[in-house]
Chain A
Amino acid sequence: QQQVKQSPQSLIVQKGGISIINCAYENTAFDYFPWYQQFPGKGPALLIAIRPDVSEKKEGRFTISFNKSAKQFSLHIMDSQPGDSATYFCAASTRNDMRFGAGTRLTVKP
């Protein structure tokens, strides 16, 4: 049973558009919600992360929106660029356990 559900599986966006990836979790013990970016042949790399005491966190073109009551969080990529084309994973973590979503393959068309 997947504890973190991620959608969509794949996403195609035009250059300059907004990419939105959604995640939902079940375990209310999760207290750290990172997003990872992975390029082909590479390991995942932390993109941005949020804790449940804030509703939004922005770093450059990347924003996490967090809805604690709905147990949902999302990644928004503004002004999407072809270099953003990668697979994105949301995750939810307790102290010693991190559960990942299944991933979203983002393609940004020039």
Chain B
Amino acid sequence: DAGITQSPRHKVTETGTPVTLRCHQTENHRYMYWYRQDPGHGLRLIHYSYGVKDTDKGEVSDGYSVSRSKTEDFLLTLESATSSQTSVYFCATATSGGAGREQYFGPGTRLTVT
């Protein structure tokens, strides 16, 4: 978890409200990722970024948007939260999308949508 923080760590919100999760890294890694973790599904990629202002969709991107205005920050927004988005969200970073490709994960954010 060194060098990667996520905020908030826990959040309870109501259906229909917007939610923004923040990932902050001090590693100066170019690549950043947002995953959700659900029982029986492992981790699933939501969106990723390969540089400032450069983002792309992952496997489960519907209902989520992201923004990256600085190397160190990657924001995940749920425009209108639904109960199906109750999950644990992990941010990850990597130095490269090519060779090596080791991803470093943050501590996670537990989101509950009631």
CB pair B58–A97 under 8 Å, yes or no, is: yes
With A46-B103, A89-B42, A102-B41 already in contact, the answer to whether A95 and B98 are too (CB < 8 A) is yes
Does A107 have its Cβ within 8 Å of any Cβ on chain B? no
Mark A83-100 against chain B: 1 for CB-CB distance below 8 A, else 0.
000000100010111111
Q: How large is the interface on B (under 10, 10 to 19, 20 to 34, 35 or more residues)?
A: 20 to 34
CA distance A2 to B59 in the complex (A): 11
Task: List residues of A whose CB falls within 8 A of some B CB.
Answer: 2, 4, 6, 32, 34, 36, 41-46, 49, 89, 93, 95-103
Cβ < 8 Å to A, chain B residues 48-99: 48, 50, 56, 58-59, 90, 92, 97-98
Interface of B toward A, CB cutoff 8 Å: 1, 4, 33, 40-45, 48, 50, 56, 58-59, 90, 92, 97-98, 101-108
- Which residue from B4, B42, B98, B107 sits with its C-beta under 8 Å from A102? B42
Interface CB pairs A-B, < 8 A, 12: A32-B101, A34-B103, A43-B4, A44-B43, A45-B105, A46-B102, A95-B97, A95-B98, A95-B101, A100-B44, A102-B40, A103-B42
